[in-house]
């Protein structure tokens, strides 16, 4: 072998759980993409990333 080629990191695809949020007294079902983004945001609450 003459060289190694890195093709990026392997991240498993997100499997939606069917989460819903309550907003202005209404329940909203999130799409898988919205759910993934909402979970990423909640994980950052209370950290320096949110203050940025």
The percentage of residues in the chain with a pLDDT greater than 70, rounded to a whole number, is 98
Give pLDDT tens digits for 19-44: 999 999 999 999 999 999 999 889 98
Cα(6)–Cα(33) distance, rounded to whole angstroms?
Answer: 27
Measured from the Cβ of residue 38, the count of other Cβ atoms closer than 10 Å reads: 13
Note whether 49 and 41 are within 8 A (CB).
Answer: no
Q: Domain locations in the chain? A: 20-51
Confidence (pLDDT) at 33: 93
CA-CA distance, 13 to 17, in Å (whole number)? 13
Indicate yes or no: pTM above 0.85.
no
């Amino acid at each position: 072998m003459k060289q190694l080629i890195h093709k990026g990191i392997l991240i498993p695809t997100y499997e939606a759980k069917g989460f819903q949020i309550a907003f202005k007294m209404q329940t909203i079902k999130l799409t898988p993409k919205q759910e993934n983004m909402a979970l990423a945001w909640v994980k950052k609450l209370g950290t320096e990333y949110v203050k940025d």
